[in-house]
Structure 1
């Protein structure tokens, strides 16, 4: 009896050890899949599906401010386009968010040197009283200086904060520029300012095209009028301030909240042949600001994902796992589509094989980073080897955040990549009237499609997973 018990115990230990070994087995991409992905990559490099998509969206719909009539047309256009592309499933999921409208905006220096200024209202800004608001300007060199100021010097004034971004390949100055826009408006309001102005978070010093973007106001009752000046107009205001004379400015913003809107994420799928419930998620956000036509931000991202999935769908054999394209709603005013999607699908996070979103323009992808389980690093290296000949370097020291909206699924535990595009010129056009189709180079866009098609196909064909599980990447610092 005792001998039998020992044998059973030994067998249990062997089974446990085998199970642990199996659980730790490396994820590998079969040679056949690598060869197919290489051919897919080369085909995509000369394909115009992505460019045709973004050209159609920006021409036939144009700018797609969240909650606007054009936003609704954009959803309808995308549903029809996905169906025309032959995806197996096309559907929408509801997304509710505050409706904010822009009607008109004007600014001018009243004294000491009267003149108009090129200005645009910021998202979730309050409107000014009818006829506008006139007050003295108090200026700060940066957000830190505003935060350190005595509230008594701010109360009742129009706060102006400068911010100076320089062009960079990875666009890292935008962290500072975005914080000045979002947090600065909130800080100024709490200190008693009657309005907030900033030097646009952009890098186009010779263009009088102000850059819009969202503020950090969460409660309409706490919002104050907030706007951005073009860089030349900000320079002009700063020169006037430095004259030492009191500066008075009139701001007239006809904008504001108008209840709640129900938008939609638009989703298309290429159904997996072997594991249809396991998903490789790719996408972009369908909404845009209303000053340009939303070409680089982010019609290009939706086009890249859709074209990549279409090329995979057109292969002789369907992928083993499902390729899911998500065109997210209202990213611009707070990741509403991404957050709604993550909340709705959090319980399914383990079924997400790998994911990332394109939302940094249409410049060539030059860097890949990843947040995956250790046993999947070799598979990521296999993907990197296929992408290297088209200019993508793998940086194993950085996490992969999944892009803007899909960062929310990553926060739930989805394994994720970051595919960084060349953003050297991105912030010349970001959130302003120059975000138009002519800024997209079809060859650069095709390289993006090649990157997304190759990685998505290889992830779908992998023998093993990349580590998605509830809370799996909570400490990697790659998500909000």
Structure 2
């Protein structure tokens, strides 16, 4: 395929965003709305002219919650909105009441010499890139954990989760609480908390959707984003923007009428917010396609109106140089493996990847995983 410069249609992209966020809305994995999103994507792929349009269904252990109540006492009892960490177990039916102990980031040094048994720990920051912190906090004897996403210094609740394979380390109830209420709690003397959450798991079914632009050889490229959302908001940025970009790239390349050197498979993943379960299942089922993949392109959260466009690259120096040469104003290109999005399953199988995303504050978007992630 000759190198040509293509111009995306803002009208087409907006139509996809409207369909996913306004017509369908919140698209939680294994719900009717996720299926509606999959049907929409499949229709678009067929209309574009992709071949082999497929809805790949897969079983997975779905997780959700019915109750999440937190009261904190720092002079008087008050309610704090929070969300359970994805895959968290429930509290006992009557909940847990205990002293809150602030432990900074929850490192081994932070816990050393501290009496945390039976306490509710307040942890400044997230889990990190490995299971080490989760495992340590799970076996320290704490009654429950309260995490603070320090990237988002606001008063509203946000969703937080861990990769699916890490769920065995979530051995005690845990929630994510907003930054500003947590700040106030950390300043208090001997605060207490009452936490009651009721979570559940069930065997369910999600799905991936894909279609191909056939190439001349056996090698492949994969380009995609995820259809589903967290329980808060309609996922305009995370990740209707990625699905819209995937469909628009597919349309532009299909309209060229040329046969690429490699087959390009365009995907919309399901259950990413469960964490990247759709891409994991795709690679498990399509091992041969994954092994033949020369590049996985992941569009996840690229829709922020203001901010900057960045890329994370897993691959050799040639790939880094190619990404840096792209027209389009990438502010930062860095080599980094991240287990929190759909390219990771391809990385494990040996494929290089580029993850495109946008930020509007340091390494983050202010509306991330909150009710503010909408089209407004």
Structure 1 CA distance, aligned partners of 2:130 and 2:196? 19
1:211 is matched with 158
1:182–1:214: 8 Å Cα contact kept in structure 2?
no
Deviation at 1:100? 0.7
2:343 is matched with 406
Aligned equivalent of 1:194, options 143, 153, 156: 143
1:261 corresponds to 2:204: yes
Deviation at 1:99? 1.3
1:328 corresponds to 2:269: yes
Structure 2 CA distance, aligned partners of 1:182 and 1:49? 41
1:118–1:230: 8 Å Cα contact kept in structure 2?
yes
Higher strand share: 2
Matches within 5 A, 1:160-309: 160-163=122-125, 177-179=126-128, 184=133, 186-203=135-152, 205=153, 207-215=154-162, 218-219=167-168, 223-240=171-188, 244=189, 246-257=190-201, 259-272=202-215, 274-275=216-217, 277-309=218-250
2:48–2:250: 8 Å Cα contact kept in structure 1?
no
Structure 1 CA distance, aligned partners of 2:129 and 2:294? 36
Summarize deviations over 1:367-407 as a string: whole Å, max 9, x none. 574625x7xx3x9857754x23x324796x84788993223
Deviation at 1:230? 1.0
1:167 is matched with none
Matches within 5 A, 1:448-467: none
Decide whether aligned partners of structure 1 residues 224 and 394 sit closer, same or farther in structure 2, where only a CA change above 3 A counts.
closer
Structure 1 CA distance, aligned partners of 2:160 and 2:322? 38
Secondary structure at the counterpart of residue 179 of structure 1: coil
Secondary structure at the counterpart of residue 324 of structure 1: strand
Structure 2 CA distance, aligned partners of 1:399 and 1:232? 30
Secondary structure at the counterpart of residue 284 of structure 1: strand
1:345 corresponds to 2:286: yes
Structure 1 CA distance, aligned partners of 2:44 and 2:230? 21
Decide whether aligned partners of structure 1 residues 334 and 183 sit closer, same or farther in structure 2, where only a CA change above 3 A counts.
farther
Secondary structure at the counterpart of residue 267 of structure 1: strand
Q: Which segment drifts farther, 314-323 or 179-188?
A: 179-188
Decide whether aligned partners of structure 1 residues 392 and 189 sit closer, same or farther in structure 2, where only a CA change above 3 A counts.
closer
Summarize deviations over 1:228-280 as a string: whole Å, max 9, x none. 1111211221122xxx3x322111212222x32221111122233x33x4322
2:302–2:357: 8 Å Cα contact kept in structure 1?
no
Deviation at 1:142? 1.4
1:282–1:355: 8 Å Cα contact kept in structure 2?
yes
1:360–1:420: 8 Å Cα contact kept in structure 2?
yes
Count of equivalent residues: 370
Aligned equivalent of 2:104, options 141, 152, 171: 141
Structure 2 CA distance, aligned partners of 1:228 and 1:394? 29
Matches within 5 A, 1:94-173: 94-110=57-73, 112-144=75-107, 148-150=111-113, 153-163=115-125
Secondary structure at the counterpart of residue 264 of structure 2: strand
Higher helix share: 1
Aligned equivalent of 2:371, options 425, 433, 440: 433
Q: Which runs of 5+ in 2 are unaligned?
A: none
2:315 is matched with 371
Deviation at 1:73? 3.2
1:421 is matched with 358
1:402–1:417: 8 Å Cα contact kept in structure 2?
no
**Bigger radius of gyration:** 1
Structure 2 CA distance, aligned partners of 1:196 and 1:403? 21
Structure 2 CA distance, aligned partners of 1:298 and 1:181? 24
Structure 2 CA distance, aligned partners of 1:416 and 1:180? 18
Structure 2 CA distance, aligned partners of 1:162 and 1:368? 25
Decide whether aligned partners of structure 1 residues 408 and 352 sit closer, same or farther in structure 2, where only a CA change above 3 A counts.
same
Decide whether aligned partners of structure 1 residues 147 and 417 sit closer, same or farther in structure 2, where only a CA change above 3 A counts.
same
Secondary structure at the counterpart of residue 285 of structure 2: helix
Structure 1 CA distance, aligned partners of 2:197 and 2:339? 36
C-alpha RMSD over aligned residues? 3.1
